[in-house]
Amino acid sequence: MNKTTALLVAGTIAGMSAPAMAQSTDGQFTGFRAGVTAGYDAVQAGSSVDIDNEPNNNDQSIDGLAYGVVLGYDVDLGGAVVGVEGEYTDSTASTNFDDGDFEGFGLGEVDAGRDLYIGARVGAKIAPDALLYAKGGYTNAKLNILSDYGTVETDRDFKLDGWRAGAGVEYAVNPNTYVNLEYRYSNYSDANIEFADGSTSRNFDVDLDRHQVMAGVGMRF
């Protein structure tokens, strides 16, 4: 093989590899995606009134593990990515007994239930395979509250309406697999009670904050 032939072969290989390399980095954040997410979940009263007084310490916060599934669709615009997503999560956050001292969240015995979210996100590529993004949207959550007054015990679900905002980073392991880490804050200001017979009360005002740090893994299609 003479020098001219070698140069032609090298040029051909380079020309073929360039589109392949471009294909491996372009479109990393485009298309439908589905994944799972889990992390730290803390729900607390938004009120500034402190009721953590001895001897009846009535804790205004609960925390635990949040876990669920995420569905979304993204459009990769080159340097930026826009998309929509929906999420269903549950949580282990609940009140507890600590050395006989009941932590009542200011309401009674409280368990965090399912949380529904739908919203949008927008991000900027900080590398061909890394995305820094912000998100926001609507969230609807449930709290189950068990309380008693004398011999009367009440078990009700509170449905909460609010909004969520957050930010995170996503890494494309390959064009079909991603991992992410994000922080999000939710605020709930409207609520209604769901009774055992299926009826609901009229809306009333609440003030609850939710802080979550979540990690996820998913697939793109």
User: What pLDDT score does 216 carry?
Assistant: 98
List, for residues 129-150, the tens digit of each pLDDT value. Answer: 999 999 999 999 998 876 554 4
CATH of the domain at 11: 2.40.160.20
Residues 177/144, Cβ–Cβ less than 8 Å: no
Q: How far is the CA of 213 from the CAs of 14, 33, 164, in angstroms?
A: 44, 20, 13
List, for residues 97-129, the tens digit of each pLDDT value. Answer: 554 445 455 556 788 999 999 999 999 999 999
3-class SS of residue 99: coil
DSSP E strands in 46-151: the ranges are 61-76, 80-91, 97-98, 101-102, 109-127, 130-149
List, for residues 163-210, the tens digit of each pLDDT value. Answer: 999 999 999 999 899 999 999 999 998 888 876 666 667 777 888 899
Domain limits at 94?
3-220
User: What pLDDT score does 4 carry?
Assistant: 45
Whole-structure pTM value: 0.76
The H or E element spanning position 7 is: helix 3-25
pLDDT surpasses 50 at 68: yes
- Tally of structural domains, the chain: 1
